[in-house]
Structure 1
């Protein structure tokens, strides 16, 4: 306790704040990279004028609340007020579209990763660059706005991500960590910067439009893990800590995306390692040894925070519909006058799934609350289907909803593991889906036919991951790589518990996937008829 108090008083702690889809979390770590305090703020995106968005007001309210709640946690535990911090890092949902004019005004509401509205641009740019440009990427949003003849495009002075925006407002620096940058525009692995050849191609494409900017002018500067990304300004300190106690001058690490912080939080930044983050959306990231043999629309190529190539399979939908069903069972329990502790309800229902038939008894479900690019849906309709001879019981019902949460993801992972023969030494799971011990981990192992580990610390998630990146910037030895820092200073002795795939689960998941692919026509009909 005294060591922690001294670290807080002497500004030896490190703060990480991550803005996720449904929660903003702040984690304060000590000199051993161990969390000593945390605070969070729940929020939800809004669907306004056919756009998934968060308002600037909600963004700052959330950041300030998560910081305030962390500071209150410090006060309650240690009786101290935070004035100094050794280093700070911010991360957030990757991709999306935030553009500003020369007076720093946001030109259109923030368009998040969740919007599937850029298919025309995504297809055209993928063809132009011969490089997969997913719909979520910032460059796809920019080009779609141009194709739509949106008036604001000519006024753009700066384009960034959510993490880049917050970092800019707190430090004045228009920079971005390479992992987050790799979800805006393709990266040249040799220069560790935006691909200049593709930038030139894009500028040539736009030449007839005579915009007052070139692409490089409006993009942030790309930084690698460990580099200094500026310091907290006086204005930034007041913006983060509304009480005015926090002092300016604190160094910040490069702002990163949630993919990069997920890699750090699971020690999956080295080649032949991977991690799966499963919550509102689900994505798997595998650090590749070499480029893929061809362009796959299902696979994004991003990078680690140090600039190593990562194959990323991403599904927009994961646990939202599953959580809604659990909520329905909780309502029933309450109506029956039964104790309704949500952790117990989740644990009971999830564990029941392990008792179901390997292939879910012939049941079929789609948790498509929003569109799903992996299977070509611009809109989604949550759906549950069974035939008259399906084995319909609670265990199979829970099992099919857990299986389908990973269904679209498996389509992408099969490309990497089966078609490209990508090799994996270890893969780690983290995120809300893994909270119930052993259940999603066992199902995931069956889905990808690879042992899956979950570490206790992985529950700290991306906020802890970005705090670690800030700690690395502050504390790394000369020439110490991020991989070495993680192995020796953060994860030594914390390998986590691995669950190997059960052959019955592997076979059952393959059978379910045959049904899943065939049944997409039913989902298509639901989208068309349920308006």
Structure 2
């Protein structure tokens, strides 16, 4: 078997996906049967500098190169051959945010990530002008807010993009985005599958007073759909990716996508009435719509699948960060007692303990707002744990509370889709760290959304696997073969998964918890204003 795989690696019958997540960069190399044959990761963290959540370009390249080198080393040690060629490569990253560059390709201001809630004025003005919801995270909101703030870098802009688009540009020389990622930059025209030209014209008219030397259409990347040619790895790009110098140039690279699009692919949820939820540092749920929404909602983003179908997204900035911090405290406590506990065991033990908690968490309340939360209208956040004298305060309820509250803001957004808009959702597929402990995250999500929740065993590699599949699709699809058919009939035809149905006592308990959650938002507001 190793001999066959060695030959496949040497002949480039593989695809590589690399995804830049909020806390981890991950690489996955897959074979022609779409199975991971090597993987690696690199942990990194954003920084809060001058009231901006950011990552430095130095950290971007350090992380990418280390992650790739670790994967190449695994290939070499496992199969006995250097990684010199690959069938196709794809890059993806956390969606949205703002990266601006001048004519020389120099970065003008630090990367502003999706986590920043600093564009409220721009978001409101553009939403009114376009009659289309423009979330604070979107690149166009960041650009317009910079104009409103009269930031000195704005006249020098020659190109704006996202993190995935930046990586792709530097490695291929092409300024392009996959349509799913592009839909978090500026609204998409579903008919042309390009940026909406009417809205571009409205933006240019809105900003004429600023007398910029550029027009919006000239600083945006080109939009591509899944399967289109995204370029090839240049000589310079090959050396940037593989500092050891083994990797050859000329490798095809698929259009860069965002973590939303790769999550859809990794869970085979790009068809109508399907949905997926990615839960980790942030949490977002997406439903592929059969029709457009009846009106504009500030809580709901409209994006697209990698093929350009309309998707409604409920996105919460905060999910497991505060929960992870609490688990870190428990780990520290164990070490003080002289106990060394494996992290996976710690998580599994405490997550499973939450299953013993009361369906409504015994009257406990928490907010994991490490950063602001647009769904509940907070520009900043303060993690809180709250209880009354009558609450049933025990560890099981404590853990269940923190799992529930990780989904609190998401629940508010999803209720708009499933109740007010009556969007059809037959089941939702989950991926991300929230679902890593078998059955627990699924049970909590089913209670929150009152729909069956499935987790695909094959989706364990997450978005990195998803972008590897998109790279594979670009080079191996048959003529006129849709991505939906490619995934359903080839990739997922024999993939197993497990589905949990919602239990009504849990659904009822989550509803009680959410009543408490909404009433308690005034406590969170007071904390933000006071601390």
In the TM superposition, what are the counterparts of 1:101-500 in structure 2 within 5 Å? 101-500=102-501
Rounded Cα–Cα distance in structure 2 between residues aligned with 1:493 and 1:457: 10
**Corresponding residue of 1:82:** 83
- Asked if structure 1 preserves the Cα contact closer than 8 Å seen for 2:457 and 2:496, the reply is no
Post-superposition CA distance 1:297-353 (Å, at most 9, x none): 000000000000000000000001001111111111121222311111111111111
Displacement, 1:493? 2.2
Rounded Cα–Cα distance in structure 2 between residues aligned with 1:254 and 1:389: 55
Rounded Cα–Cα distance in structure 2 between residues aligned with 1:422 and 1:73: 45
**Corresponding residue of 1:46:** 47
User: Which moves more between the two structures, 1-10 or 70-79?
Assistant: 1-10
Rounded Cα–Cα distance in structure 1 between residues aligned with 2:484 and 2:528: 45
Post-superposition CA distance 1:51-98 (Å, at most 9, x none): 111111100111111100000110111111011111000000111000
Post-superposition CA distance 1:271-307 (Å, at most 9, x none): 1100000000000011111100000000000000000
* Structure 2 unaligned spans of 5+: none
In the TM superposition, what are the counterparts of 1:511-522 in structure 2 within 5 Å? 511-522=512-523
Rounded Cα–Cα distance in structure 2 between residues aligned with 1:45 and 1:209: 32
* Match status 1:62 vs 2:63: yes
Rounded Cα–Cα distance in structure 1 between residues aligned with 2:118 and 2:337: 44
* Structure 1 unaligned spans of 5+: none
What is the DSSP-based 3-state SS (H/G/I as helix, E as strand, rest coil) of the residue aligned with 1:498? strand
Displacement, 1:495? 4.4
Rounded Cα–Cα distance in structure 2 between residues aligned with 1:328 and 1:402: 16
Displacement, 1:12? 1.0
What is the DSSP-based 3-state SS (H/G/I as helix, E as strand, rest coil) of the residue aligned with 1:151? coil
- Asked if structure 1 preserves the Cα contact closer than 8 Å seen for 2:458 and 2:496, the reply is no
Rounded Cα–Cα distance in structure 2 between residues aligned with 1:273 and 1:494: 17
What is the DSSP-based 3-state SS (H/G/I as helix, E as strand, rest coil) of the residue aligned with 1:357? coil
**Corresponding residue of 2:18:** 17
Rounded Cα–Cα distance in structure 1 between residues aligned with 2:349 and 2:17: 33
- Asked if structure 1 preserves the Cα contact closer than 8 Å seen for 2:426 and 2:452, the reply is no
- Asked if structure 1 preserves the Cα contact closer than 8 Å seen for 2:122 and 2:144, the reply is yes
Give the structure-2-normalised TM-score: 0.99
Rounded Cα–Cα distance in structure 2 between residues aligned with 1:344 and 1:58: 30
- Asked if structure 1 preserves the Cα contact closer than 8 Å seen for 2:100 and 2:159, the reply is yes
What is the DSSP-based 3-state SS (H/G/I as helix, E as strand, rest coil) of the residue aligned with 1:374? coil
Rounded Cα–Cα distance in structure 2 between residues aligned with 1:121 and 1:29: 42
Post-superposition CA distance 1:225-277 (Å, at most 9, x none): 00001110100000000011100000100000000000000001111100000
Rounded Cα–Cα distance in structure 2 between residues aligned with 1:204 and 1:527: 37
Rounded Cα–Cα distance in structure 1 between residues aligned with 2:317 and 2:496: 29
Rounded Cα–Cα distance in structure 2 between residues aligned with 1:444 and 1:426: 11
What is the DSSP-based 3-state SS (H/G/I as helix, E as strand, rest coil) of the residue aligned with 1:36? strand
Rounded Cα–Cα distance in structure 2 between residues aligned with 1:2 and 1:464: 24
Displacement, 1:425? 2.0
What is the DSSP-based 3-state SS (H/G/I as helix, E as strand, rest coil) of the residue aligned with 2:478? coil
Rounded Cα–Cα distance in structure 1 between residues aligned with 2:54 and 2:334: 34
Give the structure-1-normalised TM-score: 0.99
What is the DSSP-based 3-state SS (H/G/I as helix, E as strand, rest coil) of the residue aligned with 1:480? coil
Post-superposition CA distance 1:161-216 (Å, at most 9, x none): 00000100011101100000000000010110100100000000111222111100
Structure 1 segments of 4+ aligned residues over 2 angstroms from their partners: none
Rounded Cα–Cα distance in structure 1 between residues aligned with 2:3 and 2:196: 49
